[in-house]
Structure 1
Amino acid sequence: MRFGTSAFTAAGWPGTFYPQGMKPADYLSFYAQHFDTVEVDSTYYATPSVRTVQGWDAKTPPGFLFAAKVPQSVTHEKILAGCDDEFKEFVERMQMLGQKLGVLLLQLPYFNAATFAKGDDFLQRLEPFIKKLPEGVRFALEIRNKHWLTQRLFDLLRSRGVALALIDHPWMPRPAELAARGDVVTADFCYVRFLGDRKAIEERTKIWNQTIVDRRVELSEWAKVCYQVKSRGVTIFAYANNHYAGHGPATVRLFQELWSDQEKSVRDPLTIDDA
């Protein structure tokens, strides 16, 4: 089980998570003393430089794992077609991390009918891209249209060992509803993201220094489901966004606490079908 935050810098973290006065250059090293993985958000905007990737490697200990978003040029602008060169460059750049490379996330937007009239049209675009994914790299796919969570999608992802990203987001099903749709574990790892309602929380704050939304009930539900998935021998990566509750590090700590409680209370192996 890997716990971390989405990004390792944010307004409000200095003085709450990071010691006041700490230099930003020291943030990642400090972060890696508390969590064993991070989801890098900056790669969404552009492929990182060689120097940047080397810096990430140098500032983290052996065993630390990086997840990273695939650039928006691939997922949002070209939408998985005609993007071979930039995608290849990104993957190869991230492979410089060696054993510290965890998962590469294909985060797709909510596509309206003007882009894809129906889910089958989307799958026709997705399938050739998935089939060309390089071996030896973990990939996760995030979609934000609950109607596209079909057995055909699950089978396609499973055929290449790509994880369906399970997200806590107002547009998407709760864990129990997800489980009712079929076996949503499509790889030998599971990728979970606590995202929340960005618009709603930004009406209350844009400084991410404290928890302002109580997510204990939701996280307890996720802890149960994640424990059930883990009992199948699946590695789990779980990341908390600031927009979920107000302060990513606090969300991770709460989830770790609930995860520990779940491990203590559950004695018999379960499957996600029991959720």
Structure 2
Amino acid sequence: MPTSPARAAIRIGISGWRYAPWRGTFYPKGLVQDDELAYASHQVPTIEINGSFYSLQRPERYQRWYEATPRGFVFSVKAPRYVTHIRRLADVRAPLANFFASGVFNLREKLGPVLWQLPPSLPFEPGRLEAFLKLLPQDTQAAQALARSREARMSGRARIKAHVHGPLRHALEVRHPSFADPAVADMLRHYGVALVVADTAGKWPYLEDVTAGFMYLRLHGDQEIYVSGYTDQALDRWAARISRWAAGAEPADARRAGGPAAAAPARDVYCYFDNDVKVRAPEDARGLMRRLGLPMAPQAPGD
């Protein structure tokens, strides 16, 4: 019996959901703040959690986020800046253990990729990067084992048990020009970590190297970072590129630091709009979804 072709999951969403300018514009007037995630999660099928970047969240908060969102919804989680910006990837086993013990497993089957965003001041140092990549757990069992070595200060605010067992996905967003190096792409491929395709109006490196079995895009604005919306022409271009990646190929004009990736039957794609200042992110996300023929509401597996 012939096998059916692999099918990629394409998820288009927004980075964060709690923004004052969205109230009365994207969010209906009178919607209480505690209901904003529930509303947003019925407009797009995936959202980046940003609060986890600024401080460790608590298990009960992850549990509330899980309960507020529909079946089939997926979160990505932005990892702590304490690891990336303060410790600058060095000596981070204990902070990683604390992060994975902080309750992320309460997202259950809605836990998607973990995003690691590096600061613009951190250059590529092969030894530093590889030591960090070696520490990243590749599945929930390894993450659970790492979480058990959390620091004592996590007592009373940890959640260790993973309800769902399976692989973990990691994505790395780089912001120093020295990362435009073939060695970076090779290293990320070795560890199966996705290099984030970051559109930042030319402020930081723009790279499209395929380094994992999935793609992770962050669209911060192509004219003015965090502010400018995407034109119809720009959204058409992104739809075409995403279609190529999802089909297991690459755009013909891909901007890479290294060589092309091996073809694959399909690749999942996660794409988040982070141009939130003028309330363009939700509109642009839904515009891109329409171009890709995606449903406007989250779809549960098998639906």
TM-score, normalised with respect to structure 1: 0.79
Alignment correspondent of 1:248: 281
Shift of 1:225: 1.2
What stretches of structure 1 move > 6 A for 4+ residues in a row? none
What corresponds to 2:172 in structure 1?
141
Tell me what 2:245 maps to.
229
Q: Which amino acid aligns with 1:171?
A: K
Structure 1 gaps of 5+ residues are 206-211, 262-275
Equivalent position amino acid for 2:211 in 1 = T
Q: Superposition pairs for residues 39-58 of structure 1, below 5 Å?
A: 39-58=48-67
Label 1:201 to 1:162 Cα distance change in 2 as closer, same or farther (>3 A). Answer: closer
d(CA) in 1 for partners of 2:238 and 2:225? Answer: 20
Residue number in structure 1 paired with 2:163 = none
**1:219 Cα deviation (Å)?**
2.6
- AA matched with 1:32: S
Aligned-pair CA distance for 1:32: 1.5
Query: Is the Cα contact below 8 Å between 1:196 and 1:245 reproduced in 2?
Result: no
1-side partners of 2:225 and 2:195: how far apart? 26
**Residue 116 of structure 2 aligns to a residue in which SS?**
strand
Q: Contact 2:197 / 2:217 at 8 angstroms: preserved in 1?
A: yes
Matched to 1:161, the amino acid is G
Q: 1:100-249 counterparts in 2 under 5 A?
A: 100-111=110-121, 116=123, 119=124, 122-136=125-139, 137-169=168-200, 170-172=202-204, 178=207, 184-196=209-221, 200=224, 213-232=229-248, 233-243=266-276, 246-249=279-282
**Matched letter for residue 97 of structure 1:** L
More displaced stretch, 147-156 vs 28-37: 147-156
One-letter code of the match for 2:213?
A: D
Bigger Cα displacement from structure 2, 215-224 vs 74-83 = 215-224
- Corresponding residue of 1:60: 69
Partners of 1:231 and 1:129 in 2: how far apart? 30
Amino acid at match of 1:108: L
Counterpart amino acid of residue 44 in structure 1: F
The answer to whether the Cα contact below 8 Å between 2:44 and 2:286 also exists between their aligned partners in 1 is no
Specify which structure has the bigger relative contact order, considering alpha-carbon pairs within 8 angstroms and separated by 6 or more residues. 2
Are the aligned partners of 1:201 and 1:243 in contact in 2 as well (CA < 8 Å)?
no
**For residue 59 of structure 1, what is the amino acid of its counterpart?**
A
User: What's 1:260 paired with?
Assistant: 293
Q: Tell me the C-alpha RMSD between the 2 structures.
A: 2.3
Q: CA deviation at 1:142?
A: 0.4
Partner amino acid, structure 1, of 2:63: Q
Task: Give me the identity figure in percent.
Answer: 32
Secondary structure, in 3 states, of the residue corresponding to 2:172?
A: strand
Query: Does the 8 Å CA contact 1:240/1:248 hold for their aligned counterparts?
Result: yes
C-alpha separation in 2, matches of 1:14 and 1:123: 44
State the distance in 2 between where 1:213 and 1:186 align: 28
Instruction: Show the counterpart of 1:270.
Output: none
Q: What SS is found at the alignment partner of 1:242?
A: coil
Give the aligned partner of residue 208 of structure 1.
none
Q: Deviations along 1:51-93, whole A, 9 cap, x unmatched?
A: 1111011111222111111111001000111222222221232
Q: Which residue of 1 aligns with 2:148?
A: none
Greater helix share, 1 or 2?
A: 1
Question: TM-score scaled by structure 2?
Answer: 0.72
Amino acid at match of 2:137: P
Give the CA deviation at 1:123.
Answer: 2.1
Counterpart secondary structure, 1:190 = strand
